[in-house]
Each structure stands twice: as C-alpha cells, then as structure tokens.
Amino acid sequence: MGQSLNPVVTGLRSSAIRDLLAVTRRPGMLSLAGGLPAADTFPAERIGQAVHRALEADPTAVLQYGPTEGYPPLREWIAGYEAARSGRPVDAGQVVVTAGSQQALDLLVRTLAAPGDLVVVEEPAYLGALQAVRAAGAVPVPVPVDSGGLDVDLLARRLAAGLRPAAVYTVTTFHNPSGVVLAPARRRRLAELAERHGFVVIEDDPYAELRFEGDPLPPVRSWSDRVATLGSFSKTLAPGLRVGWVVLPEALAGPVVRLKQAADLQTGSLGQAVVAELVADADWWQAHLRGLRVAYAARAVALHEALTRAFGGRLAVGVPRGGMFAWGRFVDGTDTASLMPVALDRGVAFVPGSEFFVGAPDRATLRLSFATLPPDGLREAVGRLLVAHDEVSSGWSRGSREASSSARCTPSVPAS
C-alpha cells in the first residue's frame, strides 16, 4: 500500500505453535502440539455461577472501566499467594493483573530492554518469549537448559566474560518446552547473579501449581527483589479468561502500568472478578487444583508409557513430574521436522524441537503435550506417531510427500 512499516514488526515470525493450531483443528486430528489445557477440566458451571454472583453483587464494579493495575480484591489475593510461596512480603501495589502472563512478558521486556539490548532466554525457549523479545527489537541470547533447568553456571561464566543483559528470562517450574525444573540451588544463584550484575530476572511460572508429587519450590523471588514473577490462571482455570499477573520490583510498577495503559487500559473487569470469586473460595480452589494434578498426572503417565512401549530405546524421554509437556529426543537419527508432515498425514500433531531454538537446533528433539487429550487419545496418538516414524525411517514415499505436505503443514501455532 506504499506505506513503510516498522521493520521490527514486519520482521516478526508467526509462532509455529499458533500456526499448527489451525492444522490441529482438522477433524480426526489428535494433537500433542499446543499446550492446550484439558477442556474437560474447565469449571464451566462454577464460572457461570461466579459470573452471576459478580453481576449481582456489584454490577458497576465489573462492568465499568476499572484501574489499569487490576481488580483490587484479585490483586490482594495474588499478593497474599506470592508472599506465602516466596516467604517475602508482597504489597498489592507491586501486582499488575494482565491479559494472560503473555502480556506481562511483553510489557516487561519492553520496559526493560531498548531496541538492540540483550535478553537472555533459555535454549530451548518458550516461543512466546522469543516473540516478545523480538517484538521489542531486543536480541535473544540463548543459554542452554539441562536436566536441572537453566545452566546458571554457564550464565555466570558469560556474565563474568562481559555479557550485560537487560533481563534474564526463565520458566522455572516444568519448563515449556523441556519440562525441567530449575533446581533450588540454581534459583538462589540466579538471584545472586541478578544482584551482582544488575539485571532483572523475568521468572515465568505458569505451571507451578501443576506439580504431581513433592513439595513446591520457592520461586527465585524468594532471594532477591530484582525479580519479576509472572503467573497465570490459564493453566489452572481457563486460558479464555485471559487473566494473568506479574509481581514487580517496586521501581518497575509505574513504567509497566503506563505501558499497559497505552496497550489496553486494563484487563477485563468481569473476568478478574470471576477469578477473584473462585480463588476466594479456598476449599473449592484447592480441591480444583488437586483434581487438575490427578488428571494431568494420569495423562503424563499414559503418554510416557505409550512412548516407551512404542519406541523403546529409540526415543529418550523423561517422565514428566508436572506441567503439560514431555520433551523427547530420537536417538536413531530421526529429524522431527521431516517427521512432522508425515505425522500430520497420519492424523497426529506435535511440535518439532527445532522450533524452540535460537541457535543451531537439535533436530532430533520434539515437544509432546499430554494436557489436551485423555489417556486413550494419547495412546492412539502415539500409535499414529509410530506409524509415521516407521514410514520416515524406512524412507517410504519421502519424495512424493514433500509437495503436498509443505503446502498444508507449514508450522506457524499460538505461542503456548
């Protein structure tokens, strides 16, 4: 149209997972791809009652414009929750309720990083974080994740060698995509590095409550005020509510709120009031969380057992202890980007691991979500994946598929 556009925006790639969503909506497709919560866990009836109650109790409060920072009773609840789990005081003034934690991530990156600044991300990385960093014109600097989470020792060496990031982004608990948990000693060390080198840790923790066993770990914020902790009701209530939050270091609250004013004035009041009403019913809320953990644990076991039975030693995959994802690596040389179009033809979707890399990808990796399908569906999906894998490894119809598959299956799904 003859109008020059912002090159930062025109250079943005669509999220591979968002694009895959379109494919996974095809009839008969079984999806292990998106991090879509199990629809049968949505407390639809209870949400309906909460909507009625909120409208009856104070229609003006939930239908009128509200404060940018968020619905006061919900901010208070979040402050109490975050204070309890971190063992550090949180003032409700540090809490901003956002349109999902994705918005918190976007606002924070734009607050902390000017175009050209460096933001450390994990490798493999949450795609939504890569999008937020790139949309801000900042540069993602990958630091690998191992079985104990972000390699904080390596980060320390890079910092000692002169790396000066504006922020370090990490998914601390049941990482997306790798499923790992940042070890307690690394949490503490990361907080110390933030203090010493003067960066802010963006601690993204939407899966903290989806722990199948053992005690919750203290967040990184337990050891430093240079941490912004992100949370979300997407994985525990329903993502369509679009209610998440951030607990900010005090100095960041003003700038983040002003940026949110420019973005959307406020998060929807009715959704916030509904969430506030649900979490205030502590017995119901805790029972709901217990139900989620039981449901997801059963799915995680079903997926892991099916994968082990189907692929044996050809696929290295850990047992998920929480969250929504299993991360696998084929040890037989399978390239998962080549496997995907064949898998889609066989009616099963997953995300090739290469999508999550900033640097040279490990092409043998893949992310499998156990959240969306019930156990029977997961077993059927793994059966289809095995058929696709065997076709690819025997070289069956490789050439003939390429044209049709590339047109239909080019991945680009929402960031989740």
Ligand X SMILES: Cc1ncc(COP(=O)(O)O)c(C=O)c1O
Tokens of 184: 């307690």
Least CB distance to ligand X at residue 197 (A): 24
Task: Find the length of the chain.
Answer: 416
Asked if 70 interacts with ligand X (CB under 6 A), we say no
- Of 70, 124, 128, 353, the one binding ligand X (CB under 6 A) is 128
Report the residue number, 70 or 128, with the smaller CB distance to ligand X: 128
Nearest distance, CB of residue 342 and ligand X, angstroms? 26
Please state the closest distance from residue 221 (CB atom) to ligand X, in A: 16
Question: Cβ 181 to ligand X, closest distance in Å?
Answer: 13
Q: Does 101 bind ligand X (CB under 6 A)?
A: yes
If one asks whether residue 131 binds ligand X (CB under 6 A), the answer comes out as no
Closer to ligand X at the Cβ: 126 or 370? 126
Instruction: Please provide the DSSP assignment of 324-359 as one string.
Output: SEEEEEESS---HHHHHHHHHHTTEE-EEGGGG-SS
Q: Candidates 62-70, 71-79, 97-105, 150-158: pick the segment binding ligand X (CB under 6 A).
A: 97-105
Residue 234 near ligand X by CB under 6 A: yes
Cβ at position 232, least distance to ligand X in Å:
3
- For residue 265, what are the CA distances in angstroms to 111, 260, 358? 16, 6, 33
Smallest separation, CB 330 to ligand X (Å): 23
Binding mask 241-280 for ligand X (x = CB under 6 A): ---x------------------------------------
The CA angle 27-33-38, to the nearest 5 degrees, is 75
Tell me how far CA of residue 255 lies from CA of 68, 136, 242, in angstroms.
12, 15, 22
| Residue of the chain from 47, 50, 109, 171 that contacts ligand X (CB under 6 A) | 171
Answer yes or no whether residue 232 interacts with ligand X by CB under 6 A.
Answer: yes
Q: Please, which residues have CB within 8 angstroms of residue 36's CB and are 6 or more apart in sequence?
A: 239, 369, 371, 372, 416
User: What is the C-alpha to C-alpha distance for residues 200 and 256, in angstroms, rounded to an integer?
Assistant: 14
Q: Could you tell me which of 369, 409, 373 has the C-alpha nearest to residue 34?
A: 369
CB of 228 to ligand X, least distance (A): 13
From residue 338, alpha-carbon distances to 77, 366, 386 in Å are 47, 11, 14
Nearer to ligand X, 275 or 388 (CB): 275
* Interface pick for ligand X out of 16, 35, 79, 300 (rule CB under 6 A): 35
Q: Does residue 204 interact with ligand X by CB under 6 A? A: yes
Shortest approach of ligand X to residue 396 CB, angstroms?
34
100 versus 149: smaller Cβ distance to ligand X? 100
Nearest 5°: the CA angle 226, 213, 323 is 60
Question: Is residue 179 close enough to count as binding ligand X by CB under 6 A?
Answer: no
> Among residues 31, 86, 102, 236, which is the contact residue for ligand X, using CB under 6 A?
102
The alpha-helical segments, DSSP class H, found in 177-220 are 184-197
- DSSP reduced 3-state for 371: coil
Please give the single-letter amino acid code of residue 36.
L
Position 123 contacts ligand X (CB under 6 A) = no
The values of phi and psi at residue 84, to 5°, are -65, -45
Pick the binder of ligand X from 37, 43, 100, 137 (CB under 6 A): 100
Give the span between the Cα atoms of 80 and 77, in whole angstroms: 5
Distances (CA, A) of 161 to 122, 156, 158, 201: 19, 9, 5, 19
Q: Which residue is nearest to ligand X (CB)?
A: 100
| Residue 31 in the binding site for ligand X (CB under 6 A) | no
What tokens does 71 get? Answer: 């619905």
Choose between 165 and 239: whose C-beta lies nearer to ligand X: 239
Sole window of 96-104, 153-161, 194-202, 361-369 interacting with ligand X (rule: CB under 6 A): 96-104
Strand partners, 30: 348
Contact pick of 77, 126, 169, 350 for ligand X (by CB under 6 A): 126
**Exactly one of 15, 24, 176, 229 binds ligand X (CB under 6 A); which one?**
176
Nearest approach in angstroms of CB 215 to ligand X is 21
- Sign of torsion over alpha carbons 247, 209, 101, 229: positive
User: Which residues in this chain contact ligand X in the complex, by CB under 6 A?
Assistant: 35, 100-102, 126, 128, 171, 176, 204, 206, 232, 234, 239, 244, 416
